Structure 1
Amino acid sequence: MDMPQQRTAKHAWGVRAAWLVLALLAALYCGWRFAGASPLETNLLALLPATEADPVAEKAVDTLASALGDRTVLLVTSRDDAHAKAAAKQLGASLQKSGAFASVTAELPPFDLSQISALYLPYRFGLLAPADRTALATARATTLHDMLAQRIYSPLQGGLSTQLADDPFGWLERWLGNLPLATSNLEVEDNLLVSHRHDAHGDMTSVLVIATLSGSAYETKTQRAVHAALADAESALRQTFPDVSVARTGAVFYAEAARSASEREVHVIGIASLAGIALLMMSVFRSPRLLLLGFVSTALGIVCALAATLLIFGKLHLLTLVFGASLIGEAVDYSIQYFVVYLGAGRDWDARLGARRVRPALGVALATSLLGYAILMWVPFPALKQIACFAMVGITTAFASVLWLLPALLTRAPKHSPRRLFAGAARLLARWQHALGGKRAWLVAALLLIASVPGWLRLSSDDDIHLLIQRDASLAAQEDTVREAVGVDNSAQFFVVRGATQEAVLQRAEALGAKLDALNGSADSVGGYQSVAQFVPSAQRQSEDRALLARQVFGDFAALRATLLQAGFKDEVADAWLAGFAQPPAPLTVERWLAAPWSQPYRHLWLGAVGSNDKNRARQPGYAAVVIPQGVTPRNEPALIALARGLPGVVLVDKAASVSRLFGAYRVDSGWWLGGALVLVCVLLMLRYGARGGIATTLPVLFAVGVALAVFGYAGVPLNLFNWLALMLVLGVGANYAVFLREGCARAEADLGAVWTGVLLSAATTLLSFGMLGMSAMPALKSFGTTLALGIAVAVLLAPLGMPSAARSGKSSEPRRAA
């Protein structure tokens, strides 16, 4: 072996070693990340952008999601009352024993309701129910006798009652009765939370079992532990109580279902794509070695893309994972083009020369693809940013491996070449270009335009986020069953109330509550609400209530004492109650309420200290709270929005509607982005092929976009943001086929039959992958896949439009800037 050959061999081994090190580093990093806590992001909210102009509203969304995310609710139902209760106890005991949950509550622990009244007792003279406030404001002193008599001789009240000596007129008891503590459909029976319902087949008893997760609902370890624990518990339950059914709801179940579905799709799409691409490549190249090298290049792209995405974002969205499986078809395109040059060279093969020959075509193709994906980086959707990052790193790595690794691995000339296949492809290309090219190109363009216009006129759109992020149907049905039994609706709208101080927030929450109460009896009424101001009135409200009592009740201590004594109160009891009013404590505060253990289920109503919303007064602290209305419908939502706009510091937050509006806004913007990207691609191709050549090479992908839109119009399929973003990728990927053909025409030694074979094979592998993506159960990916498959199919069929006319002879010596 002479010196040049030795240097070449050493260089080849150096390149192989460098790529091997890169592959090992990327693979080890991915293995390390997946060996620990799962990096998969199964929280659907994490897929969505920050839609609210006020970051406090986004904090409220996150707070409510986390408050509910660690709770799991199970509903045990039977037509036999005793069986339902016994089964609930057994289920609770089984789940607690499993260790999958931090706590499980089936039987209620002993709880003294007097703990609630004990918190408010020192502040009772500043707590008046609305009805009492109205009565006292209009009452005469003589009515105190009637109020006292009614309190003394009324039957004993259940629930939050107060001692007669502490609350002789019952003002505190009635105020406590207005606290939004429980849902009306649930009753406490035998220390269980029970709901009784009736249907066409008779009575049903449902018992609620509440469990708290030991970890995050979005961790794979937690999901698997909960799944196993429930499977074992329900299996034992069916043996003991075959008539009992169990419905479940909670973020952990949706997250587990989403993760399982995405893993299934990754396997299906990945295996089907690999198998299909392998069959296609073997049928054309008939070389296991080329097949292996193609997959090496693709695998390098995917593993490096996975490592880079995990390194940059920390988490991997499910959408990115499934999309990554479909990237196989696109990443293998670059190696296919290299193999075509390899087989076309025959015995004259030179690996480095082959890389130089294919570099211009791959470079232009990479630039157009990167442009399409780069636009996704500008869209403020975390999942789309990840997909863009994954794809850009993946195809760039595949591109680099084709130019530097494959020449080091594919040094020997091919033993045989599919000349007959290439000759047949050349004849097919010649006929197809003859049908499309020359003067007929204008006729083809006119026919496509005429056929497309009616479809464009029928285009519609639907930006509803619920159509794009689909929940598991079985879990949604079970959630509806639980909500129906418990009596809670599924509204996701809530008010955020802000203020410079805690007192300002409470006052504004009270004003909002008064407005909501005023809607009762109208078509816009809501079914109640939860507000921190119901638990902690503002200091102003407490002061006003105390002042009202001072005027109407405590104005004459002697007469009031006589009234109490006449009603049978002992001297020391009357004196103690009067002394309580004479020595008022400081007003009740939010901190005092938060410190009470029983306030835990309602603490999400108070967001606490937040940043200022005023850009001119940055860093100034503020406070915020949440008011959650029940029974929000499309009918009364406009009234609630108008109500919020009429109150300072109050905004109605509807995350789903906000995301849908953002989808709509970016869908419109994406049309402009697509037009701008088409212009950029055309300019890029004009710099490479001259004015006429650049325009001709752009036409196939331009027609592909137009035909895809027309097909959606004719089919009556509403467009969403993901359809338009997929058209960006149609531009980036579909432009490659005309580029590959034109670059083949520019190489005097190129076999256009081999080039066309490579183009068809590249398109087939891409269509296979994205076609599988179009079968995804994830609506967003389905929109992506169907649009990409349709656009790419049209782009490859029209790719010969971009060929120079000189190519009809089978060769072209087109200069770099020639038309």
Structure 2
Amino acid sequence: MSYVWRRRCFLLLLPLFLMAAFLFTRVETDLNAFFTATSGKDAALLASFLQSGELSRRYLITVEERPEAAAGNTGTPAQSGAETFAHAYAQALAALPEVERAWPANRPPREWIAAVQAYAPYYARIYSLQPEAEQELFDPARLQARADGLKQALLSPQGGFIRQVAKQDPLLLSLQGFRQLQDRLNTPAENNAKVSGLILQSRAPALDTAAQAQLQTLIRQRFDELNATMNHAYRLDMTGVPVFSVIAHDQINQDVMSVSTVSTVGVVLLFLLLFRSLSALQSVMLIVLASYGVGAVATTLVFGVTHSLTLALGSSLTGVCVDYPMHVLAHASQRRGENPGLAVRLVWPSLFIGALTTVVGYCALGLSGFPGFRQIAVFASANILATLALTRWVLPALLTRAALHPPHIAGLDAWLGFCRRYRRALLALLMTGLFASLALLPQVRWLDNLENMMMDMSALKQRDQDIRSHFTGIEPGRFVVAQGKDLETALQQSEAAELRLRKLKESGALGEFYGLYPWLVSAHLQQDNIDRYNRAVDSEFIAAWRAALLHAGLSADKLAPSAQPAAALRPDFALSPEVRQILSGQIIEQPESVALVIWLGDHDTAVVSKALEGLPGVRYFSHHDLLNDLARDYRDHSLVMLGWGLLLIYLLLWLRYRQLKKAWFSMLPATLAALFIFAAWAALGQEVSFLHVMCLLLAVSICEDYGIFFLDNGGKDINATYQAIGASMLTTAVSFAALGLAENATLRIVSVAVTFGIVLGFLLCPLLIGADAETSTSKSE
């Protein structure tokens, strides 16, 4: 096909392809999906837990009375102004179509009350978690006091609720099982009458950031409207997974915009400064844009979605992918009047092997075990290979009318000459640095806290803790898991764990815990309960209870215990939609097992872990500890992948040159640059993570291109070749340096490691490859 037709077809198809890529690509911003792997039982359990819908959709909201308003408040602690306002505010929020339910934190939602009433018929099977220790429930001497208490409860404001329960459970044994729930609802974390909390559950998933952002706007609008009627006497604050997800989404979008803008503008300005050709810039950027679209489509095809951080890191590929067209431009500008296709064919062997070594680096990155790198590996590989193909077969057609000027970077010729004149002295200095670097390597400090590599949300986390202090809430990220082959086994293990946790709570070592009892009760415990019930509730007990009822002025016939307690509480009843919402993701069904989660309040990790020792299938689970274990696994795997990556790059170079010496010289500058940077981190006391290791491998794979071009010297002019390599290095360095502007720590680590790696490797090329470059062309072509 002629260049004219190639040009026309490309310009016609590119807009259609980019539009299709935009519509096809699905972007996600879930940080857990990027940072947390799902391989391994623990990681898979964590992923399932993090994806549980009910808990993740909840907001914890506080309404606080302003100090100036509090001075004039005449409300009693039992019914403060903040509590009254929060109750009205909850009703206003519950009316929003985006809200599934909203309720004051110290009052159960209506669905919970109805669910508790539905458990009344099963009173004889669920009344105790440890029935052998609660025989006083059937002590005849206490029956009169219980009958009097029943009468008071029927006459209380909750009389309607008690009446419905007592019709089927006159001894209120089912409420005995639910007493911990009552304590949980009625005991505030802080006795502060000026602050009132409420809980809101959204309909949209927590990670639907667009819907959650709209809901958060409505939450604030309703508050402002209601607060205006109270002379702005209150202030609002809220936390929860949706709040974190919206802030993370906004921050990631800001990072993507700032990084991609600075990277693109920097590369464009450098290109214009070096080549001084708008038409050439237009041709190259069209190729880069097409390649970026290929990367996004390939990532979505493989993973179903493309993460925002992948797109942010992908923007750094602008500098990498520009390298290949720039080498063609640099050599074509040296041969003015010749067809650009000749320049492409001249440097094609170097372009091809250079692209392959870079792809190897990204693939090793993807095989490191870090989930986010898998997407980056696919995105980058598709991007680079697309750029390579378009440079080979499309770029010459786009450059037929472009005015080309050879690049010139001040100082490079002088550095090249300096390395030639003082090579021996510089090599001696380099060897000294090499031995010093090797001596420093054992001092490397490893960073094993994966949370330190995520987005810095320390201020938001502190605010989260402040808000949660007003709730009888759980500690996010730390819980107990009971895992069994089926639900019955898991329930028995969970009940054994709850018994030990109760003892910790009584001793003060555990602030609170939310188990599954009595919402879900094992068949074994149900049988134990009803056996003891049947032995205790005999004819004498029933007669004594009837006498106590009559003495209290209650109907003995209507409130007599049933001689035939209800059948077993079946899981299909207990796992109704209403109860599942109450349990809020505490049931995790896996292919070969069932895991039950017990939420924990304030506690000491060591004390809880020790208390659970010896319980089969039960263990303490910490999100923080798991992330740290993952970080250590990533670190060990990254070192292995570093070795395999370097070996594979060397093998590709050997296949290219068929000479061990040339393959070694080609990768030596990049490898030593990585070693020196690693040693510098050790000398500075910088904590090093698996991410630093993999980024240095990435720097080696990119910088290796410079060694290949320098060794091949395709234009047979080493000064012109080094200028072309310098132009490529600058655009790549600008792209990766732009990542340093991001708020995300991951992007900043990539920025530092790769930028310094490629610059140092570029500077070492003439020193380490030296005269070999000038004689290699004829042998390698």
* TM-score (norm: length of structure 2): 0.88
Residue range with higher mean Cα deviation, 80-89 or 368-377: 80-89
- Compared CA separation, residues 512 and 224, structure 1 to 2 (3 A): closer
Structure 2 counterpart of 1:178, one-letter code: Q
1:368 maps to which of 357, 374, 378: 357
SS at 1:585 equivalent: coil
Q: Which residue of 2 aligns with 1:789?
A: 755
Deviations 1:46-95 (A, max 9, x none): 2221154268725641453x222222332221143665356546755765
Q: Which residue of 2 aligns with 1:174?
A: 176
- Compared CA separation, residues 134 and 709, structure 1 to 2 (3 A): same
SS at 2:455 equivalent: coil
8 Å CA contact 1:561, 1:575 repeated in 2: no
- Compared CA separation, residues 123 and 794, structure 1 to 2 (3 A): same
Asked if residue 123 in structure 1 is aligned to residue 122 in structure 2, the reply is yes
8 Å CA contact 1:83, 1:244 repeated in 2: no
SS at 1:755 equivalent: helix
SS at 2:610 equivalent: helix
Asked if residue 71 in structure 1 is aligned to residue 42 in structure 2, the reply is no
User: In 1, distance between residues paired with 2:466 and 2:624?
Assistant: 22
Residue range with higher mean Cα deviation, 149-158 or 120-129: 149-158
Structure 1 counterpart of 2:117, one-letter code: A
- Compared CA separation, residues 793 and 234, structure 1 to 2 (3 A): farther
SS at 1:774 equivalent: helix
Instruction: Give the 5 Å matches for 1:534-549.
Output: 534-549=518-533
1:583 maps to which of 564, 579, 583: 564
- Compared CA separation, residues 136 and 196, structure 1 to 2 (3 A): closer
SS at 1:77 equivalent: strand
8 Å CA contact 2:365, 2:698 repeated in 1: no
Asked if residue 280 in structure 1 is aligned to residue 297 in structure 2, the reply is no
User: In 1, distance between residues paired with 2:725 and 2:464?
Assistant: 50
User: In 1, distance between residues paired with 2:674 and 2:112?
Assistant: 67
Instruction: Give the 5 Å matches for 1:72-111.
Output: 72-79=59-66, 80=70, 84-85=82-83, 88=86, 92=90, 100-105=98-103, 111=110
Q: Which residue of 2 aligns with 1:617?
A: none
Instruction: Give the 5 Å matches for 1:760-771.
Output: 760-771=726-737
- Compared CA separation, residues 341 and 382, structure 1 to 2 (3 A): same
* TM-score (norm: length of structure 1): 0.84
- Compared CA separation, residues 26 and 493, structure 1 to 2 (3 A): farther
Q: Which residue of 1 aligns with 2:77?
A: none
Residue range with higher mean Cα deviation, 89-98 or 68-77: 89-98
Structure 2 counterpart of 1:595, one-letter code: S
User: In 2, distance between residues paired with 1:331 and 1:368?
Assistant: 13
- Compared CA separation, residues 355 and 497, structure 1 to 2 (3 A): same
Q: Kindly state the Cα deviation for residue 184 of structure 1 after the two structures are TM-superposed.
A: 4.6
SS at 2:687 equivalent: coil
8 Å CA contact 1:184, 1:487 repeated in 2: no
- Compared CA separation, residues 657 and 427, structure 1 to 2 (3 A): same
- Compared CA separation, residues 117 and 587, structure 1 to 2 (3 A): same
User: In 2, distance between residues paired with 1:111 and 1:291?
Assistant: 65
1:660 maps to which of 612, 628, 632: 628
Q: Which residue of 2 aligns with 1:43?
A: 30
- Compared CA separation, residues 532 and 109, structure 1 to 2 (3 A): closer
Identity %: 23
Q: Kindly state the Cα deviation for residue 735 of structure 1 after the two structures are TM-superposed.
A: 1.0
User: In 1, distance between residues paired with 2:402 and 2:143?
Assistant: 107
Q: Which residue of 2 aligns with 1:4?
A: none
User: In 2, distance between residues paired with 1:126 and 1:72?
Assistant: 34
Instruction: Give the 5 Å matches for 1:692-771.
Output: 692-744=661-713, 747=714, 749-771=715-737
SS at 2:470 equivalent: helix
- Compared CA separation, residues 87 and 144, structure 1 to 2 (3 A): closer
Q: Which residue of 2 aligns with 1:152?
A: 147
- Compared CA separation, residues 624 and 130, structure 1 to 2 (3 A): closer
SS at 1:728 equivalent: helix
Structure 2 counterpart of 1:539, one-letter code: A
User: In 1, distance between residues paired with 2:537 and 2:484?
Assistant: 34
Q: Kindly state the Cα deviation for residue 595 of structure 1 after the two structures are TM-superposed.
A: 3.4
SS at 1:498 equivalent: strand
User: In 1, distance between residues paired with 2:354 and 2:111?
Assistant: 73
User: In 2, distance between residues paired with 1:479 and 1:553?
Assistant: 49
Q: Which residue of 2 aligns with 1:53?
A: 41
8 Å CA contact 1:196, 1:206 repeated in 2: no
Asked if residue 561 in structure 1 is aligned to residue 543 in structure 2, the reply is yes
Residue range with higher mean Cα deviation, 715-724 or 405-414: 405-414
8 Å CA contact 2:359, 2:381 repeated in 1: yes
Q: Kindly state the Cα deviation for residue 346 of structure 1 after the two structures are TM-superposed.
A: 2.4
Residue range with higher mean Cα deviation, 47-56 or 582-591: 47-56
- Which is bigger in relative contact order (C-alpha 8 A, separation at least 6)? 2
- Compared CA separation, residues 591 and 27, structure 1 to 2 (3 A): same
SS at 1:49 equivalent: coil
User: In 2, distance between residues paired with 1:607 and 1:672?
Assistant: 34
Structure 2 counterpart of 1:295, one-letter code: M
Q: Which residue of 2 aligns with 1:294?
A: 284
- Compared CA separation, residues 635 and 485, structure 1 to 2 (3 A): same
Structure 1 counterpart of 2:498, one-letter code: G
User: In 2, distance between residues paired with 1:113 and 1:14?
Assistant: 70
Q: Kindly state the Cα deviation for residue 806 of structure 1 after the two structures are TM-superposed.
A: 5.3
Q: Kindly state the Cα deviation for residue 389 of structure 1 after the two structures are TM-superposed.
A: 1.0
Instruction: Give the 5 Å matches for 1:545-694.
Output: 545-554=529-538, 557-558=539-540, 560-561=542-543, 564-565=546-547, 568=550, 574=556, 580=562, 582-595=563-576, 597=578, 600-602=581-583, 604-607=585-588, 610-612=590-592, 623-636=594-607, 638-639=609-610, 643=613, 646-689=614-657, 690-694=659-663
Q: Kindly state the Cα deviation for residue 21 of structure 1 after the two structures are TM-superposed.
A: 5.2
SS at 2:2 equivalent: helix
User: In 1, distance between residues paired with 2:383 and 2:702?
Assistant: 14
Structure 2 counterpart of 1:535, one-letter code: W
Task: Tell me the matched-pair count.
Answer: 759
Structure 1 counterpart of 2:82, one-letter code: A
User: In 1, distance between residues paired with 2:545 and 2:99?
Assistant: 56
- Compared CA separation, residues 395 and 58, structure 1 to 2 (3 A): same
User: In 1, distance between residues paired with 2:578 and 2:449?
Assistant: 40
Q: Which residue of 1 aligns with 2:4?
A: 13
Deviations 1:235-284 (A, max 9, x none): 54675544422111133322222222222222222221222222222222
Structure 2 counterpart of 1:76, one-letter code: V
- Compared CA separation, residues 500 and 586, structure 1 to 2 (3 A): farther
8 Å CA contact 2:280, 2:403 repeated in 1: no
Q: Kindly state the Cα deviation for residue 366 of structure 1 after the two structures are TM-superposed.
A: 0.5
- Compared CA separation, residues 86 and 161, structure 1 to 2 (3 A): closer
Residue range with higher mean Cα deviation, 409-418 or 23-32: 409-418
1:448 maps to which of 430, 433, 436: 433
8 Å CA contact 2:64, 2:236 repeated in 1: yes
Instruction: Give the 5 Å matches for 1:449-468.
Output: 449-468=434-453
SS at 2:750 equivalent: helix
User: In 1, distance between residues paired with 2:772 and 2:485?
Assistant: 75
User: In 1, distance between residues paired with 2:541 and 2:196?
Assistant: 53
- Compared CA separation, residues 22 and 722, structure 1 to 2 (3 A): farther
- Compared CA separation, residues 434 and 223, structure 1 to 2 (3 A): farther
- Compared CA separation, residues 302 and 115, structure 1 to 2 (3 A): closer
- Compared CA separation, residues 703 and 481, structure 1 to 2 (3 A): same
Structure 2 counterpart of 1:477, one-letter code: Q
User: In 2, distance between residues paired with 1:295 and 1:515?
Assistant: 65
- Compared CA separation, residues 722 and 237, structure 1 to 2 (3 A): farther
SS at 1:258 equivalent: helix
Q: CA RMSD in A?
A: 3.5
Q: Kindly state the Cα deviation for residue 370 of structure 1 after the two structures are TM-superposed.
A: 0.5
SS at 1:551 equivalent: helix
Structure 1 counterpart of 2:606, one-letter code: R
- Compared CA separation, residues 111 and 135, structure 1 to 2 (3 A): closer
- Compared CA separation, residues 515 and 564, structure 1 to 2 (3 A): same
Asked if residue 254 in structure 1 is aligned to residue 244 in structure 2, the reply is yes
Q: Kindly state the Cα deviation for residue 384 of structure 1 after the two structures are TM-superposed.
A: 1.2
